[in-house]
Chain A
Amino acid sequence: MLSTRRSTDIATGVFLAILGLTAAVGSTGIGEGAGGQLHPRTFPMMIGGLMVIGGASLAIRAAVAKSGSDKKIAWPDRSGWKLLSIAMAGLTVYVAISQTLGFIISSLIFVPWFIRYFGRYSHMMAWSCAVGIAAFIYLVFIRLLQLTLPIGPLSILG
């Protein structure tokens, strides 16, 4: 359905106009500041308004355009969408489990999965990379740079 530049520009324009409208309406609830010439809502409301105008004009121009608007968008095919969804799901799970398991353990799960799924490399290769990255996180980020990264259950090791 959204396969040409015309249709995607119309859809994006409408989406951005709605986003701008939401921001403009949302900014009406912004409270009074501590004085000054302008209210704190001035900028968000102005930008929201400009987005409504910009989004609407993008949609309208795409709708009435004569040339160049039938250009195809390079969307992925069915297997591309599947791979994209799986990569996104993998990233989401990685961020979600990092909060409880910490970055080292989460990376030990995420890295070999990614290498095996997208590259079909051997277990040996995948696990070597995972251990290497976990060691790098510990030695460089935690020990050398002293970043307080969450380490989850590993914190019991002190």
Chain B
Amino acid sequence: MKPKVAFFDFAGCEGCQLQIANLEEDVLKLIDIVEIVSFREIMKEHSDEYDIAVIEGSIMRPMDEERLKKIRKNAKILVALGACACIGSVQRMLNQWPIEESKKIVYNNFKETKNNPYFDNFSTKAVDEVVKVDAYVPGCPIDRNEFARVLVALVQGKKPPIPDYPLCVECKKKENVCLFELGKFCMGPITRAGCDAICPTHGNECEGCRGFISHPEERAYTEVLEKYGLSVEEILQRKTMFTYRYVEKTKKEAKKDE
């Protein structure tokens, strides 16, 4: 029997699901190996009977947490899809300030938002801060072929083939001119590979949307950025966009050390 797959979206732009819809004819190949029982971007039907739950988006409210925990109970395998689900992505920038302060600025004490569970935000969480995650498909947006590879691996019973080496490896194999040599800054040296260095290949700086590798050489990397002329604030700014999760982690560890 084909494993049943369901897609769920939380806080995010749904762009990662769109990437999967954009697999086009490969979607037809995918449904040869799995049965899609819920995917609102491409079908009307929905079922709560599934083996693999694919979660897109970050977790922002108690009601999201509840819903996610229910999904976890129903699923044998849970996949975090995209940067929002994997690390919290851009909405994690919010975590720089106390949540009440942000809410005041955004909702301006508008009365409909009070005691309304839809507006009951807490600081941004990645999916694995709420439930156990079995596989990650990183990136903003995801690489749709990587998603297909991960799904195939899960069906095969293999460890999902997500690399744990820096982007530089793929960038060098593509024979790109290093962006540092062009006077640009790039998060490649600490960012997880797997996107085939798509941004640097087109001359754009890597912004770390796939998150850091498991053992990033952050200190050596900061020295490099300083050497190439970035200030401490500018370095922090770059790490804040997609990867504030790691900044938070560093802050927490620093606090512990004190």
Q: Do A and B bind each other?
A: no
